Chain A
Amino acid sequence: MIRRPRVPVPEDFTAPSHSPLVTARLGLWLAVAFGLCFGTGLLSHYIQHPPGWFTWPTRPVNLYRITQGVHVLSGVAAVPLLLAKLWSVYPRLFVRPPVRQPIRLSAHALERISVLVLVCAAFFELVTGLFNVAQSYPWGFFFPTAHYAVAWLVVGALLLHVAVKLPVARAALSTPLRRSGAAPAATPGPDDRDSSERRAFLRTSAGVAGIAVLATAGVTVPWLRRVSPLAWRSASGPQGVPINRTAAAAHISVPPDWRLEIVWAGGRNSLSLADLAALPQRTAELPIACVEGWSASAHWTGVPVVQLLRWAGAPTGRPVRVTSLETDGLYAASTLPAAHSRDPLTLLALRINGEELSPDHGYPCRLIAPSRPGVLQTKWVARLEVLR
């Protein structure tokens, strides 16, 4: 049989995986994956750019490590789910527009546009996210702001999509995948074969999502470190902890007369490194939890910031601006919210895992606070300023 090639129509696709029963379930899973990404991403955004009403707890110390781990891993799981969903609805790309009915045509066009925005935005988030964790930026935009803006596009277009598809989705979700009625052992007819293929398609999609997570979860789950071949960071690095920015990259040279300056409204004080080391030290196990989802714990030894402020005679329980020796760069300074500055586990660390901090870890001293993104754990600290 020879047919002239033509643009296919939806009816040409006969595989059971194109059924709305499959589409709606994959859609639900995708909504969970993207929902987790959006929620945890928004938290991370607010921690770094806190609006006035926002507070973030300091306990458990691993909280940010967990939320950001969930963020990157649900993004990884969304890769196969998105591809499976798009395969399931691929025939609908070829639905012919109702050209003769202007009202239905404009509704159709609007729906198509919203779905286009959704698919563009969903791919964009996954692709840029995966390149970002590999610290590769082959594009012209600034990743954090673009990734944040497009996250709103995904969520908005997703809500529009659900608004449009709700009747189909509800009907599909309330129809069981396994045909009931006839006894399970009844002779298989063509319908049973379809339903078993639909279930196999869904099982495969979920299984592949699981494999993808397993292949990357080692970035943050310690017992998977050696299992995950595609974990973008292992726990290794100088002094047992990975680093993102080296002292050389940040152009750090510690002056021989380095002193830590402490400034507050109505006073100032300063300490040499020897003064700092002579104060009572505390050791705590705290994670470096990067926005890129990787994390690693270490034993940090140093002076609790709250003790240091008390010793200097500065007020406590207020936000503290921590400034680095680094002069350029986005992360040359950070602000400790009041909750973190008064937490006794927030340290100005001098030692890591029993050794003096190496230059790449922030010698002479660095900030390490519980439940905070790594970019805010300022290294090469030069100055603490108590804010009002």
Chain B
Amino acid sequence: MRVTRLLLLVVGAAATAYGCWLLLPQLGTALPWLIGGPVLHDVLVAPLVGLVGLALGRLVTNRLRLAWIAAGLAASATLLLIAVPLLWRPPSAPPNPGLPDRDYPLGLAVGLAVLWAAIVVVLVVATTLDRRTDRQ
């Protein structure tokens, strides 16, 4: 394990140094986009996720329901994040007559609706099964 770790360390340091060297000419313009990710995540996204989690835990006491709602929120948030570049085109983007080539807001809305409909169906089925086993 020592050898493996040492090897990883050496190769990792070399690759990092190579990346730094490649990036050097553009470091100034890239820096805000490099730092932006962890800053936004650590001071905004993660605390928000924590607060939503705490609130959800208070509001929903059934564990199965809680798990499925949390999963639905995670999937919705991911889809929204992936959709950002499709929904928001800053004016600096070059014009491309081929883009946008479909109605992304509509597609996203339909996708989210399908997702939540599926979760509602799962929960209704699970609750009915639970009740049945309770009654037996």
Contacts and interface: CB of A to CB of B under 8 A. Distances in A.
Interface in A139-174: 139-142, 145-146, 148-163, 166-167, 170
Contacts of B18: 152, 156
A166 B7 CA distance: 12
Given A80-B78, A136-B93, A166 B104 contact: no
B75 A156 contact: no
B21 to A, nearest CB: 8
Given A79-B82, A149-B26, A87 B46 contact: yes
Interface residues of B, number: 66
B67 interface: yes
A133 interface: yes
Contact of B74 (A204, A230, A243): A204
Interface residues of A, number: 76
A15 interface: yes
Nearest to B86: A134
Contact of A149 (B19, B37, B85, B86): B19
A124 interface: yes
B98 A242 contact: yes
B37 A230 contact: no
Contact of B37 (A80, A120, A242): A120
Contact of B85 (A114, A130, A160, A246): A130
Interface in A214-270: 215-216, 229-234, 236-237, 242-244, 246, 249
Contacts of A146: 23, 26, 30
B74 to A, nearest CB: 5
B62 interface: no
A243 B30 CA distance: 29
Contacts of B16: 114, 117, 152-153, 156-157, 160
Contact of B101 (A128, A130, A137, A242): A242
Interface majority SS on A: helix, strand, loop or mixed?
A: helix
A242 B102 CA distance: 12
B8 A150 contact: no
Contacts of B56: none
Interface majority SS on B: helix, strand, loop or mixed?
A: helix
A184 interface: no
B92 interface: yes
A17 to B, nearest CB: 9
Interface stretch (A54-62, A205-213, A351-359): A205-213
B55 interface: no
Contact of A159 (B8, B29, B93, B96): B8
A200 interface: yes
A152 B15 contact: yes
Contacts of B79: 211-212, 215, 230
A123 B36 contact: yes
A278 B6 CA distance: 65
A137 to B, nearest CB: 6
B70 to A, nearest CB: 7
Complex A-B, nearest 7 residue pairs according to Cβ-Cβ distance, in ascending order: A123-B37, A159-B12, A229-B107, A156-B16, A152-B19, A156-B15, A149-B22
Given A204-B71, A215-B82, A249-B95, 15 more contacts: A79-B81, A90-B50, A124-B33, A134-B99, A137-B94, A138-B90, A141-B26, A146-B23, A153-B20, A156-B13, A156-B17, A157-B12, A160-B12, A163-B9, A208-B78
Interface of A: 15, 76, 79-80, 83-84, 86-87, 90, 93, 114, 116-117, 119-124, 127-128, 130-131, 133-142, 145-146, 148-163, 166-167, 170, 200, 204-205, 207-208, 211-212, 215-216, 229-234, 236-237, 242-244, 246, 249
